[in-house]
Amino acid sequence: MVLKPWPVIKDIFSLSISPIISCLFHPAYMLMNNMVLGRQSDPVQLAAFGLGSLTNGIFVLSIGVCFANGMATLTGQAYGAGEF
């Protein structure tokens, strides 16, 4: 079975619109949080936000990398077995 490239690319593009939009707006959201907390009188709040963002980023990144590695293995096995 040979896949036609255009429908596959169209499906991938339609599924990727939401993540692309969220990736564009996430830095603006983080910048706004920094601006608001930076104007507060307590520097501990800004430090806590920075530490929480860093910890959350590391946690989410590690889950994403593990998921991607697992999917690469399963996708390769399914393709090799002809189950696609």
**Residue-range domain boundaries for the chain:** 5-81
C-alpha dihedral over 24, 28, 29, 35, to 10 degrees?
A: 170
pLDDT of residue 51 exceeding 90, the answer is yes
pLDDT of residue 31 exceeding 60, the answer is yes
Which pLDDT score, from 0 to 100, does residue 66 have?
Answer: 93
Nearest alpha carbon to residue 30 among 9, 53, 11, 14: 53
Which of the four pLDDT bands, split at 50, 70 and 90, describes residue 71?
very high
Which pLDDT score, from 0 to 100, does residue 23 have?
Answer: 86
CA 73 to CA 28: how far, in whole Å? Answer: 35
Residue type, 62: S
Which pLDDT score, from 0 to 100, does residue 57 have?
Answer: 86
Which pLDDT score, from 0 to 100, does residue 3 have?
Answer: 63
pLDDT of residue 2 exceeding 80, the answer is no
Is pTM beyond 0.75 here?
A: no
